[in-house]
Structure 1
Amino acid sequence: MNPGELRRRAANGGRGLTLQLAYRPPYAWERLRDFLDQRSINGLEWVGDDHYGRCFAWQGAKGHFTAHHEPQHHRFSVTLELDRLASLKAVVGNIRRVLDLDADSTAIEAHLAQTAPGLKLVEGLRLPGIWSQFEAGIKAILGQQVSVAAARRLAQILVDTLGEREDEAASEGRRRFPEPAAIAASDLAFLGMPGARRDTLRRLAEWHLAHGHDEDAQAWLTLKGIGPWTVDYARMRGASHPDIWLGGDLGVKKALGELDGADPAAASPWRSYLTFQLWNR
């Protein structure tokens, strides 16, 4: 189904759409689902055995979606609420990116098998995306020097405190990830974090207010408190760059040390996938 067909269906049926997004198998849904679930933020995201969904703001539009996996058809059936149909193509493209639906896993894994012969590959492993580089960068800063569970708790507090409610008339419910303006204007004391890290969060938010969401995260290296790992993580998950090597990550170092003859440089242009394969050992 092309975007034009989706627009016609939306016009006939109001704000709600149902669409099918296909992928080329294999697709390791359980691994992607579990990775997203371990990091999901209540109200912002929802994850179940066969689905992933979230609230979003994107290119002038706001809404939410739920993607239900239909493995027998090699696709996701997506229900989407969107308040601005002009942004439909961009929103659908970003859903495809977050779920990594356009990857050719067979070709990627054939390449990785040659460069890391001792690595038992997870068939169909995809890159679990984050909705934007900004959100990925904020989460990476929150996760500096703490566990995944602690980073998730901090992100939950941030969303609960500064995230815009999807329905402002409701006292509870779904929220979007905080906009840069909301983070830049807050002292973030409610996070209970050291002042230097709160300053880094605000610097990143202020940078986005000045430059927008589309700039390459490499420019963040000019910001105090942001180093290569944060930038690479944001590019890998917030922009789904396929060739990011997180060689400084402790989990990656440990897994790589257990292999003989693995050459990360030779894994290019698919080093992001090698990183996730090592994380999944």
Structure 2
Amino acid sequence: MERFEIALPGGYRLHDLLAFHGRDAESVAEEVKPDRLRKGVLLDGVPVVLDIALGADRAACAVLADGDPAAHAAVAPLAREAALNILGLRIDPQPFLDFAAGDALLGELSRRQPGLRIVQSATVFEALTWAIIGQQINLPFAIALRRTFILRAGRRHSGGLWCYPDAASAAGLDPDELLTRKFSRAKAETLLRFSALVASGELNLEPGPGNDIEDIGKALLAVKGIGPWTVNYGLLRGYGYADCSLHGDVAIRAALQALLGEEAKPDMARTEAILKRYAPHRTMAAAHLWASLHPRGDDGQS
């Protein structure tokens, strides 16, 4: 069993982490407690539970992998990357706070929550499939569909938790397994089309020379059924990309409406123009706008 520790920065907002990963009260792939998070995920085809004990200044992580021990060495670095995602440690919030300090619209808002971070999905594939599942429906229904997807395409770990699917396991689904469980045909077909492209290697989600984040975004947009909101949300939750424009997000537009004191939400074009002022920190701008709708401490991140 692999073990490692990750230092947590000063002012780390543990409640944001627990709120995001505890969205599903009936969760089958996450177990959330005040001082511990257990997350099931398929990493390189291996069922893994990341058991993360949360302290005041560090997270102690144990990697519980099923199957052939010979495969566990390859899983260890993937587990470390997944833990960084889960803990929301990809984007340092300070550059945005400095950038927005004197801003008339977001300056005061950002000062209220200086430790706010973007919590991510464990893997890029999880983030993008969650974006596909959640597009154009309300959050409770999206959470229920996500649970169905995990149970149909994931694998159960020996410890009891289900592991979030990887591309290969999802690509093997029969569409009817989703259509008979409240998935629309369009959503099911997009989800399985995307999974098949990733599983075959035709769609490369690994950043590198000749395949930067912008290239990945363009490739995603070329997939039938995937639009700009899904791409930006997926890049945000999957890669911790710092400059995602969420101008198509209804909650972002509602937050801007409240801040501007207007009677209607700004349209997408105006929202895009407003958010462009905060480039290259638009992801953190979105985080603070989401949080403004939930002043009691829940960051509101969907």
Smaller-chain TM-score range?
Answer: 0.7 to 0.9
Cα deviation for residue 50 of structure 1 reads 2.0
Letter aligned with residue 148 of structure 2: I
Partner of 2:228: 228
| 2-structure distance, mates of 1:103, 1:144 | 24
Of 276, 282, 285 in structure 2, the residue corresponding to residue 274 of structure 1 is 285
Aligned length: 260
Partner of 1:65: 50
Q: Which moved more, 1:95-104 or 1:224-233?
A: 95-104
| 1-structure distance, mates of 2:152, 2:46 | 22
| 2-structure distance, mates of 1:41, 1:92 | 26
Partner of 2:136: 145
Alpha-carbon displacement from aligned partner over 1:5-56 (angstroms, at most 9, x marks no partner): xxxxxxxxxx2x4332103222111123212211577231111112222112
Q: Is the 8 A contact 1:45 1:52 kept in 2?
A: yes
Cα deviation for residue 160 of structure 1 reads 1.4
Partner of 2:114: 123
Partner of 1:109: 97
| 2-structure distance, mates of 1:263, 1:194 | 33
Partner of 1:194: 184
Letter aligned with residue 280 of structure 1: A
Alpha-carbon displacement from aligned partner over 1:229-259 (angstroms, at most 9, x marks no partner): 0011111001111111211111111112233
Alpha-carbon displacement from aligned partner over 1:92-142 (angstroms, at most 9, x marks no partner): 133113212354333432223334224254121111111222222221122
Superposition pairs for residues 203-214 of structure 1, below 5 Å? 203-211=193-201, 212-214=204-206
Of 59, 84, 90 in structure 2, the residue corresponding to residue 76 of structure 1 is 59
Partner of 2:124: 133
Letter aligned with residue 139 of structure 1: W
Name the % identity: 25
Structure 1, gaps ≥5 residues long: 1-14
TM-score (norm 1): 0.83
Q: Secondary structure at the match of 2:162?
A: coil
Q: Secondary structure at the match of 2:102?
A: helix
Of 160, 179, 184 in structure 1, the residue corresponding to residue 166 of structure 2 is 179
Partner of 2:264: none
Q: Is the 8 A contact 1:132 1:238 kept in 2?
A: yes
1:37 paired to 2:34: no
Shift in alpha-carbon separation, 1:103–1:41, aligned structure 2, 3 A: farther
| 2-structure distance, mates of 1:180, 1:102 | 23
Shift in alpha-carbon separation, 1:180–1:86, aligned structure 2, 3 A: closer
| 1-structure distance, mates of 2:153, 2:225 | 22
Cα deviation for residue 155 of structure 1 reads 0.8
Cα deviation for residue 144 of structure 1 reads 2.1
Of 67, 82, 105 in structure 2, the residue corresponding to residue 94 of structure 1 is 82
Q: Which moved more, 1:258-267 or 1:240-249?
A: 258-267
Q: Secondary structure at the match of 1:267?
A: coil
Q: Is the 8 A contact 2:154 2:170 kept in 1?
A: no
Q: Is the 8 A contact 1:183 1:202 kept in 2?
A: yes
Q: Secondary structure at the match of 1:104?
A: coil
Shift in alpha-carbon separation, 1:40–1:88, aligned structure 2, 3 A: farther
| 1-structure distance, mates of 2:45, 2:164 | 14
| 1-structure distance, mates of 2:25, 2:232 | 20
Q: Secondary structure at the match of 1:57?
A: strand
Q: Secondary structure at the match of 1:208?
A: helix
| 2-structure distance, mates of 1:239, 1:229 | 15
| 1-structure distance, mates of 2:75, 2:113 | 35
